[in-house]
Chains A and B, each alone.
Chain A
Amino acid sequence: MSTGVAESTEVLCEEAFRAHWTNVFRVSLAWTNDWGAAEDIAQEAFVRLWIHRHQLDWSSSVLPWLLRAARNLATDRFRKVRRLMSGTSLPSTLEEGARDRWINVRDSMARLSNLERGALVSTTVIGLTYAEAASLLGVTEGAARAAVSRARTKLEADR
């Protein structure tokens, strides 16, 4: 690969990071409900993007690739250790006031399943369609819709 092409993919990686970090982090956070883990997962997703930058098709958005990578990383990370988890990490990168707010939100979101959080965040925060969210989460579109509905119901009951 020529130096010019290599440099261009590096620039594309940087641009992708700036453009997509928030949403990749959000998907990671939705799945884990753990701020620190979500940061790690999101960062790892971008590391993977970097590693595979030469193989990616940059003519289209890499956001779906990143979201899928983050989702897979989150699943891998917690599949084996979920039973051992005794707590979640607090966001050291948030200011104290925001940290308290996060704790409240986290506790509310903890009432939802991973799928429900993922579906809710993907559709209402990130703006994916139900079909896109379903693809990301590995479920049918109907299941994604149902998960969002259940999430809303649970949150509403959490007054």
Chain B
Amino acid sequence: MSSNAERVVDEWRQLTSAAPLPIRRVSRAPRPVARASLLTLVVVLFLGVALLAVYLSQSLPSNNATQPSGLVGSTAAATQSASPSGQPRTSPGVAPSDFGPLERPSPSLPSATPIAHPTGAQDQLLVMEVTAGGANGNERPPDILFDLSGNGRLVFRTLVPGLTGISGPRTAWLTEGMVQRLLSFVMGSGFLDEKSLYPFLTLGPAGSTIIELTVDGVDKRVEYQLPPGNLMADTDPATGALRDVAAALMAFHPARFSAPNPFPTPSPSGSGAASAGIWNGTTVSVVFAIDGSDLTTLAPGDQWYPIPWPSPPTQRQVIELRTPEGFVLYREHSTFPMDQTIYIDEPCGLIVMWWGTGGPGTGNSHRDADSCTLAAATASPSR
């Protein structure tokens, strides 16, 4: 091999040989210096985001009307459970046997010092309701519903998983039907289905979608797996109306959700493929599979902290929500090496995800795990 080519290849080989594993275990209690560095990082990133938002607002005038104020957040890694050929599954659900038999709450779960909810988190929680769609026949993915349980802005944004530098508000277009579904959901009388979510999903890899929302500077991420297909099929820019949706969502007030739950309760049998209602009144297990081998089912009353960080690939956590029958309602992957606290309060079909303390502009800081916290909980049935 010629000299320069050899030098480059040798350097490439050395660097990749010395490369540490991608994610490090992070101390639960960062040192003060680390905290100060993190604070500095957050401040710098926030300023950068603000500048970027100004830039975008000036350079992309056509997008302005369709997006709230620019917020750029963490980049997330996409996952999808698919064959090695790259073809996604037709459903996010996996057979319970994929992760072994459903376990009941283990008395050996660590019951260390209870961790309080992050300050102010209750005001910023995003409520994610998981429907019984999907079922064992894998006919369709479960519906995932969102509402905002506190005051705050709701900013939709999509990020390209695993990439940096292209995050930020993005124009998305919705058909009239999508707008109606979103608005009806916002008004508390409807639900979001995959069609409503398409516009937010078009940059994700096939069959996998990252939905990121920022509420008062708190980032949330939900991975939503779609069946294969053209995600742009019905997102014609000519009929786009995201500006209306964004305005409606931003005008949302939690008082609108004070009404009784409008969603039907599906059969607790776990076979409610055709049901669009939330899984309410039934205990939904939260299953954390760390490396798949450390599978723990959490039940109401459990607190689990901390999640031990085994060596990769065990860093990859898989969060599943299962019915008592073992039916997988929802599944989420994460590569984030976050400090984590899991709260399981009441048996209910509402799952609350609280994600991220890094605030807007955390950039690629999913590798700076100090800035991230994940808490998952079941919420009170009354809202």
Q: Note whether A and B form a binding pair.
A: yes
Q: Which residues of A contact B (CB under 8 A)?
A: 6, 10, 13, 17, 21-22, 25-26, 29, 34-37, 39-48, 50-52, 65, 68-69, 72-73, 75-77, 80-81, 84-89, 91-94, 98, 101-102, 104-105, 108-109, 120-121, 124-125, 151-153, 155-156, 158-159
How far does the Cβ of B48 sit from chain A's closest Cβ, in whole Å?
13
Tell me which residues across on chain A come within 8 A of B161, comparing CB atoms.
40, 77
Q: List 14 A-B contacts (CB under 8 A).
A: A10-B292, A21-B312, A25-B19, A43-B312, A43-B316, A44-B79, A47-B81, A50-B291, A87-B165, A88-B163, A93-B20, A108-B8, A124-B9, A155-B2
Interface size class of B (residues with CB under 8 A): 35 or more
- Within 307-353 of B, Cβ neighbours of A (below 8 Å) are at 312-313, 315-316, 318, 333, 335
- Pair A48/B84 contact, Cβ less than 8 Å: yes
Residue of B nearest to A94 (CB): B19
- Pair A93/B4 contact, Cβ less than 8 Å: no
Chain B contact residues: helix, strand, loop or mixed:
loop
Chain A contact residues: helix, strand, loop or mixed:
helix
Once A and B bind, how many residue pairs between them come within 8 Å at the CB atom? 169
A152 to B8, CA, bound (A): 10
Q: A155 and B4 in contact (CB under 8 A), knowing A10-B292, A89-B164, A120-B9? A: yes
Tell me which residues across on chain B come within 8 A of A73, comparing CB atoms.
86
- Pair A89/B163 contact, Cβ less than 8 Å: yes
Cβ of B166 under 8 Å from chain A: yes
- Pair B313/A52 contact, Cβ less than 8 Å: no
Tell me which residues across on chain A come within 8 A of B82, comparing CB atoms.
48
Cβ of B113 under 8 Å from chain A: no
Tell me which residues across on chain A come within 8 A of B313, comparing CB atoms.
13, 17, 43, 46-47, 50
Residue of B nearest to A30 (CB): B12
